[in-house]
Amino acid sequence: MLFHQRAKMQGHELVEGYTGRFVHGEAITVAHWDVVAGNRIPSHAHHHEQIVNCLEGTFDMTVGEETFRMTAGDTVIVPPDVEHSALAVTDCRCLDVFTPVRDDYRL
């Protein structure tokens, strides 16, 4: 299926305050996140390259030892196997991209 309409996609709250809608291509997964202020993603790592895009709100991304304060239109690259964590400073919308596909997000 090529066309994925938000209105028809179910959200999944994978971490408290982080509700995602996921689209999987052959080699890319896109995750559309709605995030509630004050909630954190604990530090973790994975073999996928990840690119985080802040669409709305203020979102702190920590990659390795550095923390980046993101606002709308900002992008952070998370290289493969690098520890990262996050904090929603305000309510946010974020769009994450992964390669290869996140099979654990096939829900």
Residue 74: phi, psi to the nearest 5?
Answer: -85, 155
Backbone angles phi, psi at 95, to 5 degrees: -125, 115
Residue 38 lies near a copy of itself (rule: CB under 8 A): no
Nearest to 105 by CA among 22, 15, 8, 36: 22
Is residue 80 at the binding interface for a copy of itself, with CB under 8 A as the rule?
yes
Token reading at 30: 């896109």
Tokens at residue 28, please?
Answer: 């890319």
**Residue 97 near a copy of itself by CB under 8 A:** yes
Contact letters (x/-) for a copy of itself, 49-68, by CB under 8 A?
x-x-x-x-------x--x-x
Smaller CB distance to a copy of itself: residue 33 or 88? 33
Return the residue of 37, 79, 90, 107 that touches a copy of itself, per CB under 8 A. Answer: 79
Cα-Cα-Cα-Cα dihedral sign, residues 13, 16, 48, 71: positive
Query: Which residues of this protein are in contact with a copy of itself, per CB under 8 A?
Result: 1-7, 21, 23, 25-28, 30, 32, 49, 51, 53, 55, 63, 66, 68, 72-80, 95, 97, 99
